[in-house]
Chains A and B, each alone.
Chain A
Amino acid sequence: MANKNHAAPAPVGGNLVNVVTLTCGVLIALMLAILVVRFLFGLGAVTGINDGYPWGIWVVVDVVIGSAFACGGFSVAMLVYIFNKGEYHPLVRPALLASLFGYTLAAAGVIFDLGRWWNVWNMFWPGSINPNSVMFEVAVCITLYVIVMWIEFSPAFLEQLGKNDARRKLGRVMFFVIALGTVLPMMHQSSLGTLLVVMGVQIHPLWQTPLLPLLYLLTAITMGYAVVLFESCLTSSAYRRRLETHMLTPLAKIMLGFLVVFLVVRLGDLVVRGTLPKAFVPSVEALMFWLEIASFVAPLILIGAESNRRNPARLFLAGILLMLGGALLRLNGFLIGYETNVDGAGGFTYFPTLAEVLVTAGMFAVEVLGYIIITRRFPVLPREDVQAAH
């Protein structure tokens, strides 16, 4: 195995109380306070959602975009274990950890948004389930994937707790857990796109196509690699560790490969369906469409050349742009390009309330705080010769 060449993961160590963790703490406290109001007085008491826009940022940002941001674990694990690119092995654990948090929180966050959350068990009850429902598929797959990821990540805990026997036993079936961990995200990340199909004419033609599952899957993969670039650069700078450019440069090339495939499918679909002229009609939709396309095309210019891919600043920026592009594809489909009963009187508008934004911020704060605590206390990041604890 290639990982013999790499330093084993080790806790970063250091103090858990600092400006970042305290800020996270405050954001989490605010989120909890808002959630108390939400559960006592209903969704209308804190959110801006309405019957014209029944899904706000708690669905679109926290779940649809949030779970795609959490595809780093899946994208990297696929690369290492399925395509046998062992040289990226040290990226697996940190990516998996970020995914673990992203998904666990997306799944938990759904509960805040469910108007009748106490009935949620029906989602898994054979007498209630509806296999025709795209959301049923998404919900079951995400739940399974969260469980699979905890198992996939558990060696880091078992190792630290000294349970080497359990870790060895788990190691023998790990290949199957890893296989599950690649198939499940492919299923629900594509289905998150399919969610829009049943909304029919209510979705602007720029974002309504039978190819939605493929578009969402391809961008989930590129976003996964983009998040790894982003997170690796950020971790290196925050913990003052060596930049992992030797892995990030070739990784970025693979990411660009997926990106090119995506752009061909995305633009080809628009041309074949004859929808492209809609992108030249002056409208908010067209503007957002071009912002989205620009975010996908810019990384090709930014790090298209091999020499540019060795520049960490460019890698970081390209990562952010691709995360933005994928986020915009989802935001545009679910909110900007959505209109209830296109010909009806309607008159609905939606803009997230401060309370809604604070809950979303609180969710991301839980992720960041969790990532910091676990990387400092458990073996996730590769051991450095000189421990930069602080």
Chain B
Amino acid sequence: MGTRRDFLKGVLVSGAAASAGVVATSTLARETRPRPPEALGLLYDATLCVGCKACVAACKESNSNPPEFSTVDHLWDTPLDTSGYTFNIIKMYRNGTMEAKDQEVNGFAFMKTSCMHCGDPSCVSACPVSAMTKDPETGVVGYNPDKCIGCRYCVAACPFGIPKYQYDSPTGRIGKCELCRHRHKDGRYSACAEVCPTGATLFGRTEDLLAEAKRRLAHKPGQPMKIPRGRLRHGQEKLLAGKDDGKGAKMRHGWRDEPDQTYEAPAGKYLQHVYGEKEYGGTQVLKLSGVNFQKVGMPDLPPDAAAAMSETIQHTLYGNLVMPFAVLGAMTYVAKRNVKPDDDSSDKGGN
């Protein structure tokens, strides 16, 4: 019969092994990761958006996505939310009489919904097969359907509700904005920013975009303000520390030349908050708004990414497999003493 002493010994040995493991690995706490220095992103300025949805159409076209209908006549692409086939959408906020734009009470406003390209993305941390990855240089969160197993952990993990799955297909993929990374090699940047007529969606290095956002916030409402369109350009951005171009200059990102489309307009009435500057440690897509961000569908997120907490727990318990092996060692030691090989065929124990 097992004795109380053996029982206690088992408890002690396994407890000691477990605590040794914790002590050995508690240094693996992982901080929230910042965006890479050369991170690319978008700046969406809701006060400039006119809700024309040119960006929605351009996104569909450049990603070869089919239209989605929400009206009876099925005449136009009218998605109501992002989906496995719609990676970008402009949503409208309405309140009361809707008499003024960018006003919370009795007003209306627009908000772009698409991937925020987090500095420390939950989807990338969650993905078991590295189908969701973050480019170490550009920080673009990309998706590889050839690795994806369709578990939808990324869909569940994203606090913005961005990765979406194609439930209607037997070979359904995850659909999300990849910042048009497939166009980058041709010198073309995100289609949504390229077509935006008012510069409400602007493409560039996130660091430059953040400076641009703060420049706008410094304006008084109605004060004349220069507004770039398309891509944040040479004059307005710092020189990029890119690769050498062989002619004694640093390469920029190799974007195609296009005329400067900067124009002047009165500054909007901004909330003094660059959404994405600090949320989850910082995202690469930044947003400005006149209406409370939670009212227009952006979650209130802490400055630490959930991925950091998740990976801290994961690596504290399993880092270098220290703790599993310590516990396994202890268990093997105790089991070796307690399990007798059953040579005697009448004793059917020890299975």
Contacts and interface: CB of A to CB of B under 8 A. Distances in A.
Nearest to B301: A201
Nearest to B309: A197
A242 interface: no
Contacts of A83: 2, 6-7, 10-11
Nearest to A5: B1
B313 A197 contact: yes
Contacts of A139: 128
A117 B150 contact: yes
A189 to B, nearest CB: 12
A228 B349 CA distance: 18
A202 B126 CA distance: 14
Interface in A164-222: 164, 167-168, 171-172, 174-176, 178-180, 182-183, 186-187, 190-191, 194-195, 197-202, 210, 213
A130 B343 contact: no
Contact of A179 (B83, B113, B332, B347): B332
B152 A115 contact: yes
A43 B172 contact: yes
B129 interface: yes
Given A81-B335, A155-B351, A344-B299, A130 B127 contact: yes
A133 B331 contact: no
B327 interface: yes
Contacts of B307: 132, 198
Interface string A279-314: 000000000000000000000000000000000000
Interface string B70-92: 00000000000101100000010
Contact of A343 (B155, B299, B310): B299
Given A1-B350, A152-B351, A179-B331, A42 B149 contact: no
A18 to B, nearest CB: 27
B165 A115 contact: yes
A67 B334 CA distance: 26
Contacts of B156: 54-55, 199, 202, 338, 340
Interface in B143-157: 145-153, 155-157
Contact of A201 (B84, B173, B299, B348): B299
Most buried by B among A133, A202, A210, A346: A133
A343 B306 contact: no
Given A114-B150, A116-B173, A199 B347 contact: no
Contacts of B336: 175-176
Interface residues on A, range: 35 or more
A81 B339 CA distance: 6
Contacts of A49: 152, 167
A98 B21 CA distance: 31
B314 A194 contact: yes
A199 B157 contact: yes
B347 A4 contact: yes
Contact of B334 (A8, A82, A114, A155): A82
A342 B293 CA distance: 12
Given A130-B129, A197-B310, A51 B335 contact: no
B1 A87 contact: yes
Nearest to A176: B332
A159 interface: yes
Given A86-B1, A198-B122, A343 B328 contact: no
A27 interface: no
Contacts of B130: 122, 128-130
A54 B302 CA distance: 24
B306 A197 contact: yes
Contact of B159 (A175, A183, A341): A341
A89 interface: yes
A320 interface: no
Interface of A: 1-4, 6, 8-9, 39-45, 47, 49-52, 54-55, 80-87, 89, 92-93, 96, 113-117, 119-120, 122-123, 125, 128-137, 139, 152-153, 155-156, 159, 164, 167-168, 171-172, 174-176, 178-180, 182-183, 186-187, 190-191, 194-195, 197-202, 210, 213, 338, 340-346, 379
Interface of B: 1-3, 6-7, 10-11, 14, 81, 83-84, 91, 113, 122, 125-131, 145-153, 155-161, 164-173, 293-294, 297-302, 305-307, 309-311, 313-315, 317-318, 324, 327-328, 331-332, 334-343, 345-351
